[in-house]
């Protein structure tokens, strides 16, 4: 497993960094979309931004499905139409 410091948002090509907030004195990583807590009790590397998960499971699944739908629509629009 490799740690990634930064990921890109596929829609805007902007760098995404983890959202780190403090929850009762403990660091917590929040989902970029729904702001749900993904992980608590961060290690030093995680606190520095070296994390893999920037989205919770539900939001990550939704983002992947939206990307697949967009690819499917793009390929269907490029196919020749049957007459």
Under 8 Å between Cβ of 27 and 42: yes
Q: Is residue 83 part of a domain?
A: no
Number of domains, the chain: 1
Q: Going residue by residue through the chain (83 aa), what tens digit of pLDDT does each one get? A: 233 444 665 566 667 778 888 867 778 889 988 999 998 888 888 888 788 788 888 988 888 888 888 888 888 777 666 65
CA distances from 51 to 43, 54, 67 (A): 10, 7, 22
Q: Is residue 62 part of a domain?
A: yes
Phi then psi for 22, rounded to 5 degrees?
-100, 130
Q: Is residue 70 part of a domain?
A: yes
**H-type helices in the chain, by residue range?**
44-47, 57-78
Q: Is residue 2 part of a domain?
A: no
Q: Is residue 34 part of a domain?
A: yes
Domain residues for the domain of 38 are: 7-78
Q: Is residue 1 part of a domain?
A: no
| DSSP 8-state secondary structure symbol assigned to residue 5 | S
**pTM score, whole prediction:** 0.66
């Amino acid at each position: 497993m490799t740690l990634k410091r930064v990921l890109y948002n596929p829609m805007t090509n902007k760098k995404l960094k983890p959202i780190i907030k403090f929850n009762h004195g403990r660091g917590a990583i929040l989902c970029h979309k729904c702001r749900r807590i993904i992980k608590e009790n961060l290690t030093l590397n995680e606190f520095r931004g070296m994390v893999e998960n920037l989205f919770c499971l539900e939001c990550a699944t939704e983002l992947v499905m939206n990307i697949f739908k967009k690819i499917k629509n793009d390929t269907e629009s490029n196919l020749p139409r049957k007459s």
